[in-house]
Amino acid sequence: MRNVVVCLISLLFLACSNNRNDLTYFGGGIVNPKDDYVILLQQDSIIDSIPIDKNGHFSYEFNLKEPGLLTFKHGYDPQIVYLEPHDSLKLRVNTLQFDESLVYDGTSGIENNFLIENYLLNQKNSELILSYYKISPEDFQFKTDSIKTSREHKLKSLKEKHQLSEEFLKIAQKSIDFEYYDMRERYAFLMNKYNHKKARNISENFYSYRDNIDFKYKNTSNLFGYHRFLDNYLKNLSIELCQKIHPSKDCYDLNTYNNLDHRIQLVDSLVEHKNLRKQFLQRFIQEEIIYAQTPEHLKHTSKLIEKFDFSKADKNRLKALVNFQSSLIVDADLKHVKIKSKDFKNHELEDVMKKNLSVVYSWSVQSPSHHKLRIKKIKELKTKYPNIQFIGINIDYKNPDKWLDAVKNFNCNSENEFMIVAENHAAFYRNYLNKVIFLNKDCIVKKSEIILSNIEFDKHIEDFIASQ
């Protein structure tokens, strides 16, 4: 009997040991933690929230079925991590320089250090693109080919020194490819929009990589470079589509209903990954609503909301935004929009306009650098167009004291500064921070699709004045 008990205990111990060996370990240390947990995700689905102890350490074991890219988040900083079943991977990071300080150790440590190094190099290239665009298309092709070749040599060298899985090598190559594609797409956009002379010298093989883009590989969707490439690729394709349909039209304004509708069509036809598809579709549909100008536009977008496989909550949110935008389209009457003055008294918009042609813009204390630039632009416009009343409407209705402090700090004309009144639709104003609304003397919307940073903003104002 004693032998049987010993045997059973041994079997139980062996089973537990085998179960532990089947698990994948992910842990490490965080210097200057911002939260008391790390979130681990796979394909945008949360695997678990991992607690961080008082020393900044965390550890987690779980059952990983196949190798691939996961995402971990701490505070506002997300980063990808490559893991294989049965891995034991540790990281160390300082949140003061999150990406720059991130290092890995353990199984798949070499792979992850390669990916983070590649990511940091890609970020530097992203900053350099504005200087690269000044060179000729031929020189730019040579530059991007050289960057790609250099990265591939590093990967080849890594492969020769270490035993790397085929899955990792595929992911690493994709990370190199999509950075290469993205640089080409961004250069082409800048040339075609701002330097037509150089754009005419872009050769036919400049876009040859487009014939080989793999939109179906599931691990691609986690790569930051792929997200950025896809965004820029869709911009360029939407412009090319516009040019085919309207050869004489300037198709480079991306903040238009038609451009956004083209991008929605392209996502629908190209992107198969469920979460990424949903992310892009919801973003473009939301922007399409915001830049809609007519009831027909909103009717068309409402049909798109029903067409796509969104959750009930997402559909309801988008439909509510459609209803809100219907009150801001051309010829909408804004006389009775409620706002607060600096003494916190309620007013209607028509009372503060005083029968003046007006430009209304919204802003938030949560975007101080953005608003600082906006104030500078508004002051210039006030000098140029003294007959236009520029009205600022702050959206931070939950923080009225911060609003008043900001008005004072930015040296704004407080007579034309107001705050929205907290109503059911108040949260929607955050979607309109980049837009301005042109109102005639009767408080009727005449333009609502223009953004303040538009390079032809002065022309829009002059056309508005001439039409009244």
Residue 95 falls within a domain, yes or no?
yes
What's the whole-model pTM score?
A: 0.85
**Same structural domain for residues 127 and 94?**
no
Closest CA to 209 of 180, 239, 235: 180
CATH for 62: 2.60.40.10
- The pLDDT-based confidence of 17 (bands split at 50, 70, 90) is very low
Give the pLDDT of residue 294: 92
Average pLDDT over residues 279-291: 95
Q: Choose between 196 and 419: higher pLDDT.
A: 419
**Rounded distance, CA 228 to CA 123, Å?**
11
**Rounded distance, CA 35 to CA 74, Å?**
7
Average pLDDT over residues 154-163: 96
Percentage of the chain surpassing pLDDT 70?
95
Its domain, for residue 384, covers 338-467
Average pLDDT over residues 424-449: 87
**Same structural domain for residues 113 and 79?**
no
Residue 5 pLDDT > 50, yes or no? no
Q: What is the 3-state secondary structure (H, E, C) of the chain?
A: CHHHHHHHHHHHHHHHHHHHHCCEEEEEEEECCCCCEEEEEECCEEEEEEECCCCCEEEEEECCCCCEEEEEEECCEEEEEEECCCCEEEEEEEHHHHHHHCEEEECCHHHHHHHHHHHHHHHHHHHHHHHHCCCCHHHHHHHHHHHHHHHHHHHHHHHHHCCCCHHHHHHHHHHHHHHHHHHHHHHHHHHHHHCHHHHCCCCHHHHHHHHHCCCCCHHHHHCHHHHHHHHHHHHHHHHHHHHHHCCCCCCCCCCCHHHHHHHHHHHHHHCCCHHHHHHHHHHHHHHHHHCCCCHHHHHHHHHHHHHCCCCHHHHHHHHHHHHHHCCCCCCCECCCCEEECCCCCEEEHHHHHCCCEEEEEEECCCCHHHHHHHHHHHHHHHHHCCCEEEEEEECCCCCHHHHHHHHHHCCCCHHHEEEECCCCCHHHHHHHCCEEEEECCCCEEEEEEEECCCCCHHHHHHHHHHHC
> Which structure tokens are listed for 64?
């990983």
Distance separating the N- and C-terminal Cα atoms of the chain = 102
For 382-402, what is each residue's pLDDT tens digit? 999 999 999 999 998 888 899
**Same structural domain for residues 210 and 96?**
no
In this predicted structure, which of 8-12, 206-210, 360-364, 376-380 has the lowest mean pLDDT?
8-12
Residue 275 falls within a domain, yes or no?
no
Residue 339 pLDDT > 80, yes or no? yes
**Same structural domain for residues 355 and 432?**
yes
Q: Choose between 275 and 25: higher pLDDT.
A: 25
**Same structural domain for residues 150 and 217?**
yes
Mark which of 62, 92, 107 sits at the end of a domain: 107
Residue 155 falls within a domain, yes or no?
yes
Average pLDDT over residues 19-29: 84
**Same structural domain for residues 358 and 395?**
yes
**Same structural domain for residues 455 and 421?**
yes
Residue 143 falls within a domain, yes or no?
yes
For 290-338, what is each residue's pLDDT tens digit? 999 999 999 999 999 999 999 999 999 999 999 999 999 999 999 999 9
Give the pLDDT of residue 217: 85
**Same structural domain for residues 56 and 137?**
no
C-beta of residue 394 within 8 angstroms of C-beta of residue 420:
yes
Residue 285 pLDDT > 70, yes or no? yes
> Which structure tokens are listed for 11?
């079997």
**Rounded distance, CA 420 to CA 397, Å?**
6
In this predicted structure, which of 11-25, 354-368, 454-468 has the lowest mean pLDDT?
11-25
- The pLDDT-based confidence of 142 (bands split at 50, 70, 90) is very high
Residue with tokens 């389209």: 329
**Same structural domain for residues 381 and 448?**
yes
Residue 436 falls within a domain, yes or no?
yes
Please, what's the b/e burial string for 47-58 (b: 16 or more CB within 10 A of its CB; e: otherwise)? beebebeeebeb
**Rounded distance, CA 206 to CA 416, Å?**
51
For 85-138, what is each residue's pLDDT tens digit? 999 999 999 999 999 999 999 999 999 999 999 999 888 877 777 777 778 999
**Same structural domain for residues 35 and 143?**
no
Give the pLDDT of residue 21: 64
Percentage of the chain surpassing pLDDT 90?
63
Residue 331 falls within a domain, yes or no?
no
Give the pLDDT of residue 19: 52
Mark which of 107, 126, 154 sits at the end of a domain: 107
Mark which of 80, 107, 134 sits at the end of a domain: 107
Residue 1 falls within a domain, yes or no?
no
**Rounded distance, CA 121 to CA 151, Å?**
10
Q: Choose between 432 and 149: higher pLDDT.
A: 149
CATH for 448: 3.40.30.10
**Rounded distance, CA 405 to CA 123, Å?**
36
Give the pLDDT of residue 51: 96
Give the pLDDT of residue 434: 82
**Same structural domain for residues 46 and 125?**
no
C-beta of residue 356 within 8 angstroms of C-beta of residue 441:
yes
Q: How far is CA 345 from CA 127, 394, 420, 459, in A?
A: 46, 15, 11, 35
Give the pLDDT of residue 67: 94
Residue 329 falls within a domain, yes or no?
no
Q: Choose between 4 and 301: higher pLDDT.
A: 301
Please count the structural domains in the chain: 3
Residue 194 pLDDT > 90, yes or no? no
Give the pLDDT of residue 424: 66
**Same structural domain for residues 101 and 121?**
no
